[in-house]
Structure 1
């Protein structure tokens, strides 16, 4: 490497293009002119500032590439594998269990596009398991591993390209194509691809922060994002009569003729909390007796402050499958108050009398007092659908997942005329998200809204239009 201290750094040039404005940093190293163009002033100013500071420190610049030695060293020495591990470690302390698993999955999906060679590569399934199970898991990285995993990690550590390759938009396109595929080569779901792209974008921002990349160019790649349907399918929403039949089918479940050997009867109120109060499954799992503000009959309240999504023991600090945390998108200790309608009040009282609580006050647990398993919940619900619904209804999307009970509840609130701001507060998300998810439900209420407005204005109702005769 041939270096020099003869450096001149010019002011940022603003370049007005026909479609957009860009910003160019120009500097001269030993009479050789170099330039970098950026989409924003802030990025250009940050890069120029790095050059100025390196010059002021008396740092040598490379004649061939025009960059300070420290910037070149960072780009050369930081491989994609080492950077990915560093990114995972930076995000780990504050991330929820599901976010940790999602970050690992996204970076593992991208890695095959960033290999120097395929010679001697482990099987794709082994490589993915090595990356998600150990390398991209801060807690497990240094734990004992099977021999095939050790070999896979040793190989991938020596065979990923420098992070600086991600300055090339063509390489970024290859990475985007890679994360859009499942391990078997088939197209991944749109929601999955969008989630992985968001992780990749955040990782590239972190690479810029570490100065191993000069800029995050992911948004400049002309690549069509898969479209994700956020609005619910109205076919999944059950009505109240169907709900009552389903809850009765849950209560009637037995094992070898013994109700006490089945988890069904103890889960009636669990499903009812989702249907009547729109709780998320992970919120119901942490509902305690002290969270219930219930009269003997009538309307009560549920005070929610904790959630416990299932993430897997490898991703939680406690080593348990459920990650016990504050409510989604809320601070530690923040409480969300949700109304408890009279039918749910009665079901919760019955549950407390028949099944009591766990030692910590939790209403719902498995037969030995531990956390509920998703497999148990799914099995009980599937049996109830098969018993309570017709063959055609069972084969349809109607109430297919327990989570659809939450959708049914919010749809009921909206149909009853509850303002969307109040619905969003009770459901625990923003009004914007409510309008996206329940857009079709809200659109179906327009006629009723028009009638109420006409009544308020004293306008004579407008008869519906008829087709030509």
Structure 2
């Protein structure tokens, strides 16, 4: 649809404030009309605005038809429409791939797979499951895309390439809202978890920001859509945090089932290590004296990622510590109880490859995720009551780390010190990990009673002891 009915107006200057810095700034908007419909484009400098306006004027003088949907001269419209969401998403994945950890690569692919159906036409679409598999396993995996697509996915991939919306349509508010609504739903139609929505929304925002960076879009389309994400409860639920008696019962159950894994879970409870940090822990990083406190000198983490997402084709990938530089280390104290457990583990289960916790097979390597999760499920079944097993208490091993951090905070260790040991910022620590351990409420109430000078239960103030209205004893 094209027309020659075009009017081009003068550049309008706007005085305002930068939303990020708050500083005064000027913007320059080019305005024109195509077949009675007004269009506009805003620029940061007058020179850029004049350059764009001159292109419109030249096209009008030369008798070039203007595209009605985009309002641009047809050559410019064809260039714009040739850039599709599919092309942008693939370019975004390739840009992120080299510096992203394997787990982050999977997260990006998962988010882009979720939102892409909002940016496709519906005519002749393949089945949803087939389309998702093509996107996740091939389109958004740079390593897999280096070869030809598998024969069973080739038709779906061809359809995706030819039926992806141009970016000019992707940027519309209705399309962006449709994509955001997809983020908030699971495949089965139920509501997605708030943290999942937040993670996927961040990926979508970054992909569209990359389009702005490449000058494919003039402004970020999500900034103009008022969409409310599900509220994300970041604090750890106290119901998942085991108290010391429950934690020790779980460790005992693990020891009775698989003695080689007791130290694995003990590192998480007594030293607040992440599972990936425990898997990476090496013998020479453990300072374990015969008595007293020791130290764990952490140097990295080992992630279970899947061979198709790693650079070396291995199921696991060694990475730096979370939120740290590649060669950064973190020292964590080991209490005497943990020292005794690790010394026993080193003596009876150590292997010469240097890792403290190894797979039971002859092939050297860290203990697998499936192995330690299976051991944890069985330990919960033995150590907890039926009611506790049905609850969220210590449902996953990571809850031991929450218990450790909560214990340190409740013991009065300064938040700055806890944050350093746990590998978090103080802000995140107090916002997320400041959970109360089961049974601490009574202790807290007693402290408040003591501070208020509240008499013991059953005791009554005598008239002489009862305060008057001015707060002084009579």
Q: TM-score range by the shorter chain?
A: 0.7 to 0.9
Q: Larger radius of gyration, structure 1 or 2?
A: 2
**2:213 aligned residue:** 209
Map residues 389-428 of structure 1 onto 2, 5 A cutoff.
389-428=384-423
TM-score, structure 1 length as denominator? 0.84
**1:162 aligned residue:** 166
State how far apart, in whole Å, the 2-side matches of 1:118 and 1:334 are: 52
Return the match for 2:136 from 129, 132, 148: 132
Contact 1:74 1:212 in 2 (8 A): no
Contact 1:51 1:68 in 2 (8 A): no
Return the match for 2:245 from 216, 241, 245: 241
Map residues 354-373 of structure 1 onto 2, 5 A cutoff.
354-359=348-353, 361-368=354-361, 369-373=364-368
Q: Which runs of 5+ in 1 are unaligned?
A: 38-43, 254-263
**1:463 aligned residue:** 454
Contact 2:167 2:217 in 1 (8 A): yes
* Cα distance, 1:180–1:23 mapped onto 2, change above 3 Å: farther
State how far apart, in whole Å, the 2-side matches of 1:30 and 1:312 are: 53
Return the match for 1:341 from 322, 335, 340: 335
Matched, 1:282 2:279: no
State how far apart, in whole Å, the 2-side matches of 1:22 and 1:168 are: 26
Matched, 1:187 2:195: no
**1:350 aligned residue:** 344
Note the aligned Cα RMSD (angstroms): 3.6
**2:430 aligned residue:** 435
Deviations 1:378-401 (A, max 9, x none): 110111111122222222211111
Matched, 1:90 2:95: yes
Contact 1:338 1:426 in 2 (8 A): yes
Instruction: Please state how far the C-alpha of 1:135 moved relative to its aligned partner.
Output: 0.5
Matched, 1:172 2:176: yes
**1:330 aligned residue:** 324
| Higher mean C-alpha deviation, range 364-373 or range 406-415 | 364-373
* Cα distance, 1:87–1:296 mapped onto 2, change above 3 Å: same
Matched, 1:374 2:369: yes
Matched, 1:385 2:380: yes
Equivalent residue of 2:145, what SS?
coil
Contact 1:182 1:188 in 2 (8 A): yes
**2:471 aligned residue:** none
* Cα distance, 1:386–1:176 mapped onto 2, change above 3 Å: same
* Cα distance, 1:8–1:282 mapped onto 2, change above 3 Å: same
**1:118 aligned residue:** 123
Return the match for 1:26 from 29, 50, 55: 29
When the two structures are aligned, how many residues end up with a matched partner?
443
* Cα distance, 1:143–1:299 mapped onto 2, change above 3 Å: same
Contact 1:24 1:36 in 2 (8 A): no
State how far apart, in whole Å, the 1-side matches of 2:375 and 2:414 are: 34
Contact 2:277 2:301 in 1 (8 A): yes
